[in-house]
């Protein structure tokens, strides 16, 4: 489940939340059945709180948003990407420490 500051990004709101965003967007591609995805969930929510106002943080459920997963070339999850100006500027696969995700956003700010 997404935390208060964490957006739920879907195919329907992708254009407005990500492509048209004025700030970098960190996107966590995940699925309910993916244990590693659930393990990084709290970390993603912490980053969402810490970067509120500076960057957006959202989650894409790959099961209900297959087209987005395909568009980003997601082959395994968890996969975290940072999008700035509609372009992917950073990508990380698997479980990473919070500092690693923070560094990805910092580089895009």
Over residues 10-58, the pLDDT tens digits come to 999 999 999 999 999 999 999 999 999 999 999 999 999 999 999 999 9
Active-site hit among 2, 5, 26, 37: 37
For position 1, what pLDDT does the model report?
A: 46
Q: What is the distance between the alpha carbons of residues 105 and 109, in angstroms, rounded to a whole number?
A: 6
Name the pairing type of β-strands 7-8 and 56-61: parallel
Whether the CB-CB separation of 79 and 26 falls below 8 Å is answered with no
Q: Does domain 7-108 have CATH number 3.30.70.3270?
A: no
Q: Are 59 and 8 in contact (CB under 8 A)?
A: yes
List pLDDT tens digits, range 56-88. 999 999 999 999 999 999 999 999 999 999 999
List the domain boundaries for the chain: 7-108
The neighbouring-strand residues paired with 57 are 26
DSSP 94: S
Residue of 9, 34, 62, 68 with catalytic role: 34
Centre a 10 Å sphere on the Cβ of residue 27 and count the other Cβ atoms it contains.
26
Q: pTM for this structure?
A: 0.95
Q: Is 79 one of the annotated active-site residues of the chain? A: no
């Amino acid at each position: 489940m997404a935390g208060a500051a964490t957006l739920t990004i879907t195919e329907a709101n992708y254009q407005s939340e990500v492509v048209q965003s004025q700030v970098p967007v960190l996107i966590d591609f995940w699925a309910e059945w993916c244990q590693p995805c659930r393990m990084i969930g709290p970390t993603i929510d912490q980053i969402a709180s810490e970067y509120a106002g500076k960057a957006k943080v959202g989650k894409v459920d790959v099961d209900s948003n297959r087209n987005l997963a395909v568009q980003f070339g997601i082959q395994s999850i968890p996969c975290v990407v940072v999008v700035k100006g509609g372009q992917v500027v950073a990508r990380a696969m698997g479980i990473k420490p919070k500092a690693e995700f923070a560094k990805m956003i910092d580089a895009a700010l």
